[in-house]
Structure 1
């Protein structure tokens, strides 16, 4: 089982706590920097996670200045700084993930909502489907492709671990009919999708091809929510070169509204499960 902690999320939480403490104490970032004779922008970088490692003595200076005296709160902030320096399981897959990777946020997500139009979402893929999907791109190193598929399988553990993430997926019907890897691979994938749809923490809805115009005629996206109020939701959009993270509240709100609209256009979870079975049957060879 993979570690369920997120170094980036811990750093993000600590940065939020420092910014709020500074504002409550009535200081500007410049005033704090000047007081400690720090380089320009050091305080701002701490508060925006540009600084990946916050030294213990620097943290003590800030907490003293902001009059954070509670032993429990100080210990909690030091623990966040320490956790932020840890490396997640995805660091073993340096060929696959960048420094700011989606699994870093998935690790502590309480709710994940995803809309996918072209393929089965990564968290619901089988090994053979994932490998076939990756082979469909530009010619690449077979070992790298194998590593990518393997990493994708490790990601899936967040849905079956103790206290799993809640997962809501809306998948376009075309993605379920696209014969990635051939009929047998697709059939296996659909069977796994049907199995996952029966888990209490997983909801799968299908957006049928006859829906016509709908709110999902945009780039696929994922919204991640977290249990701690200090960890604001984040939107992830996959791109050809690297993933894009959107953290501004208006961006999250806009994508949440779009997801709700797409959900309203999709089949119910029960009817979606029936459609998945129907597509599986259509792949069976005639007797």
Structure 2
């Protein structure tokens, strides 16, 4: 195991750049009395040899935070030190504040583990037990309507929304303002200007890169605001995950939305109770009630899209297993089926619904996906593949065409729209006749 480098408060002459500090770390001897090689660092961290060499020579002065974090973990040094900061000696009060700050945003399971370890440590030291609320405070419960979230956007400027978004991204990485400025290559003052709503688009772009935002559509939804090309919309709320912000923006501009759902009822057709249940069921970590409610509110807010006069047409194919999966109580499940029946009877031509039965002749070997078609000239079709933690947007023409072909085959093999309503009514009848819960 490599020895850590004592750098807390250390003032090493000439080590004022990432290149100089990386060179210094590579020159030190570990516990084996041998200097570590670039090849060894690359093998353990996954950072390419070429990237490390360029950083060491000073030719890669703006590496991503993830790269710096991997190298800092390998050499057992603080990320901020490697990024270029020269920290002052840390006081006991500052240390306690930093530890408390690092707990913000951790999942409940992690906080519970930390609380148990703290309890054992205090017991060993014969100290009084700290109330668990100090370690894992309950998050505030969001209000019951989305309007409470978006009200502050009425008077918000594009720059202030971008600034708040970038601040939350920085805090999510656990970076100080100085660390973020060093990682982005823009300096501390530029970060402060951006977060105060007075930054330049160039600084915003550099910080997005430093925070690992590489998806073109996620970047563009922020950069459009930074360049003052549009006004903030509800999906620009900084608290909304950036991947969902990009998806909601695409939905708002689409002329046609094709979606295949193999796990859940399409978000645009969910009831309130089903939205709550699906938000909870889809998480790998046990979420807080506040988080579930917030996600469900976003789902319901997205549904207003179908109420617009210029609403896009929605064509949904739902796997039959989705309709039998009980995420909610029977009465609420009946409400879900009623909603789908009403959608399948849509007379305005805006919603087409089909069910892919258990004996469907075509079963795509792919996860749930949504395809967007736009009326704007020059805007190509896009596909959103629904993932575990975030959705992935695909714009490569051949891949998009493959998903479109799969949807067409599904539409042909599934129960046809005019017969779907009868299928749903029969299913509702069978559910209603089940013994009471």
Task: Establish whether TM, by shorter chain, passes 0.5.
Answer: yes
- Higher alpha-carbon deviation: 87-96 or 224-233: 87-96
* Equivalent residue for 1:82, pick from 196, 208, 228: 228
SS at match of 2:253: coil
Separation in structure 1 between the aligned mates of residue 328 and residue 344 of structure 2, nearest angstrom:
22
Please provide the CA RMSD for this pair.
3.0
CA contact (8 A) 1:223 1:234 kept: yes
* Residue of structure 1 in register with 2:408 after alignment: 260
* Equivalent residue for 1:165, pick from 305, 312, 317: 312
1:94 matched to 2:230? The reply is no
* Equivalent residue for 1:206, pick from 355, 372, 392: 355
SS at match of 1:132: helix
- CA deviation after TM superposition for structure 1 residue 285, in Å: 3.6
Describe the superposition over 1:103-139 as per-residue Cα deviations: whole angstroms up to 9, x where unpaired. 1100111000000111111111011111011222331
1:189 matched to 2:336? The reply is yes
Describe the superposition over 1:8-44 as per-residue Cα deviations: whole angstroms up to 9, x where unpaired. xxxxxxxxxxxxxxxxxxxxxxxxxxxxxx9xxx9xx
TM-score, normalised to structure 1's length? 0.69
1:112 matched to 2:257? The reply is yes
Separation in structure 1 between the aligned mates of residue 334 and residue 399 of structure 2, nearest angstrom:
36
- CA deviation after TM superposition for structure 1 residue 197, in Å: 1.9
| 1:57-72 → structure 2 map (5 Å cutoff) | none
Separation in structure 1 between the aligned mates of residue 386 and residue 278 of structure 2, nearest angstrom:
15
- Higher alpha-carbon deviation: 259-268 or 137-146: 137-146
Q: Which runs of 5+ in 2 are unaligned?
A: 1-146, 159-201, 210-215
- CA deviation after TM superposition for structure 1 residue 260, in Å: 0.4
1:272 matched to 2:420? The reply is yes
Q: Which runs of 5+ in 1 are unaligned?
A: 8-37, 57-80
- CA deviation after TM superposition for structure 1 residue 170, in Å: 0.4
- CA deviation after TM superposition for structure 1 residue 150, in Å: 0.7
Separation in structure 2 between the aligned mates of residue 115 and residue 126 of structure 1, nearest angstrom:
18
CA contact (8 A) 1:206 1:266 kept: yes
**Residues 257 and 166 (structure 1), Cα distance of their counterparts in 2 relative to 1, 3 Å cut:** same
CA contact (8 A) 1:215 1:258 kept: no
Separation in structure 2 between the aligned mates of residue 285 and residue 55 of structure 1, nearest angstrom:
53
* Residue of structure 1 in register with 2:289 after alignment: 142
- CA deviation after TM superposition for structure 1 residue 193, in Å: 0.9
Separation in structure 1 between the aligned mates of residue 271 and residue 369 of structure 2, nearest angstrom:
20
Superposition misfits of 4+ residues, deviation over 4 angstroms: 48-52
* Residue of structure 2 in register with 1:152 after alignment: 299
CA contact (8 A) 1:204 1:272 kept: yes
Separation in structure 2 between the aligned mates of residue 55 and residue 238 of structure 1, nearest angstrom:
26
- CA deviation after TM superposition for structure 1 residue 186, in Å: 1.3
Structure having the higher Rg: 2
Describe the superposition over 1:34-88 as per-residue Cα deviations: whole angstroms up to 9, x where unpaired. xxxx9xxx9xx9xx776754799xxxxxxxxxxxxxxxxxxxxxxxx5334x322
CA contact (8 A) 1:93 1:151 kept: no
Alignment coverage as a number of residue pairs: 222
Separation in structure 2 between the aligned mates of residue 55 and residue 183 of structure 1, nearest angstrom:
45
Describe the superposition over 1:149-189 as per-residue Cα deviations: whole angstroms up to 9, x where unpaired. 01101101111211111000000111111111122221101
CA contact (8 A) 2:317 2:411 kept: yes
Separation in structure 2 between the aligned mates of residue 99 and residue 240 of structure 1, nearest angstrom:
13
Separation in structure 1 between the aligned mates of residue 354 and residue 225 of structure 2, nearest angstrom:
46
Separation in structure 1 between the aligned mates of residue 326 and residue 235 of structure 2, nearest angstrom:
29
* Residue of structure 1 in register with 2:175 after alignment: none
- CA deviation after TM superposition for structure 1 residue 90, in Å: 1.4
